[in-house]
Amino acid sequence: MMRQKIPFISRVVNERNRMKILMTSWPGSWGNKNPFDFSDQSRIGGAEIQIKSLAEALSNHAEVAYANLGTTNDYFRRVRLFSSKRPRVRQQIIPAYRDLLLHTVSKFQPNVILSYLLYPVSDFVASSLGNEIGEDVLMGSIVGSWEWKMIAHSPDSYCPIPRTMLGRAIKRNDFFFTRGCLLNIAIKKRSTAPCYNLRPIVDIPEKVIVSKSDTIISFGRLASPKRFDLIIEAFRKAIEKKILENGTKLLIAGEGSLRKHYEKMVTLYPAAIRKNIRFLGALSRNEIFKNLINSRISIHASDSEGYGTAPIESLLCNIPTVVAGYPAVNIDLKGTPGVFACEPYLSDMLTALERAWLCPKCDSIELIKMYRSDNIGRYAYNVMSKLSIS
């Protein structure tokens, strides 16, 4: 019964090529069971956009299939399961997804299996398939921003998954794609498998016309890793210290578990500041870009993510951007005009805000090339092609 509810396979096909790439991920789009279902764009997260974009980019060079191995609820249930050590529940979850995966592999017969998220997806795929696939099938994993603290910083404090399981997941891969050089270094310390830096795909409207306004925008999931509390407090301090002009507005786009907390936090501010902080709720990507290109600067903060696409989207729209935290982004874009990097601390953010406020619009022509889907798809395909031949 459970199996009937799971989408079997979504395919992006180019029949002219021989290489077959099976992409897997877990979970689906914020509760949706199919990450390729973009009917409700306000519920689509960054990971789902990246999966879809990379699959489409790779389909220009190979035949690509996608198998979704669960939903968000299944994923968090599995994480809680490992922290509470209840193998009985685990056996209720795994068989249906294992059958789905085996059926997909048998029908599609891929040359490469590329998993999004090293753990639990990559580990689950490897343990489920076992000897069911030949030795010539490459197993790879895309190690994303979610795993930054778990691998490169402080794994025990960030996630209940034990280090032994993380180490096992790393050892089961033939190659890795990482988001940023810091994760690349961390993986190389733990594995001898080839490791390649793969930037996220960021698509923006073709014509971006920026209109000057006294608006600051930030967008993302309203959860603790995104540090919207720090952004809101920095905005208040900047108004009080005359770093920003009176009447400057702060727009916050996104939904999440902490929205009510942030709204309550704002009610304690003076009325002159409170009335200029607006929560827009969940917006489609087109609506986000519409607000973005009509803003003067963008601000993003995180103390737990290595890489994030939100600062990149802002920069590609020629908007000066304060990037607080995001170490991999700041290393990758060091020296890029319009990037105001700082640590995710209040005093540092105020300094960066002041510099960004006085900055004219930036030119993103060269930056766009770094994140274009055709360039990234071609690079990823060439890597996998060479590895499969060797």
User: For 142-151, 252-261, 301-310, 339-348, which range has the lowest pLDDT when averaged over its residues?
Assistant: 142-151
Identify which of 141, 148, 146 has the alpha carbon closest to the alpha carbon of residue 124.
141
Closest C-alpha among 22, 29, 43, 24 to residue 111: 22
Question: pLDDT for 93-111, tens place per residue?
Answer: 455 667 777 777 888 888 8
pLDDT digits (tens, 9 = 90+) for 170-208: 777 889 998 877 788 888 888 889 999 998 888 776 655
Residue 297 has pLDDT above 80, yes or no: yes
Which of 243 and 78 is assigned the larger pLDDT?
Answer: 243
C-alpha–C-alpha distance, residues 117 and 114, integer Å: 10
Looking at residue 16, its pLDDT comes to: 53
For residue 46, pLDDT over 70 is answered with no
If you average pLDDT over residues 67-96, what whole number do you get? 48
Question: 5-9, 72-76, 152-156: which range is least confident on average?
Answer: 5-9
Mean pLDDT of the chain: 76
Contacts of 383 (CB under 8 A, 6+ apart): 175, 177, 196
Whether the Cβ atoms of residue 153 and residue 146 lie closer than 8 Å to each other: no
CATH of domain 215-369: 3.40.50.2000
| CATH superfamily name and code, 3-201+373-389 | Glycogen Phosphorylase B; (3.40.50.2000)
Task: Please report the pLDDT score of residue 189 as a whole number.
Answer: 82
> Is 215-369 the same fold as 3-201+373-389?
yes
Q: Which helix (H) or strand (E) holds 217?
A: strand 215-219
On the question of pLDDT at 30 being above 60, the answer is: no
Residue 290 confidence class, pLDDT cut points 50, 70, 90: confident
Give the bridge partners for 251, in sequence order: 217, 278
Each domain of the chain, given as residue ranges in start order, spans 3-201+373-389, 215-369
pLDDT, greater one: 153 or 242: 242
**129: closest CA among 156, 162, 94?**
94
Query: Which of helix, strand or coil describes residue 143?
Result: strand
Single pTM value for the model: 0.80
**Residue 29 to residues 41, 120, 134, 318, 362, Cα–Cα distance (Å):** 10, 16, 31, 29, 33
What are the pLDDT digits (tens) for 331-359? Answer: 888 778 888 988 889 999 999 999 999 88
The stretch 354-373 carries a mean pLDDT of 81
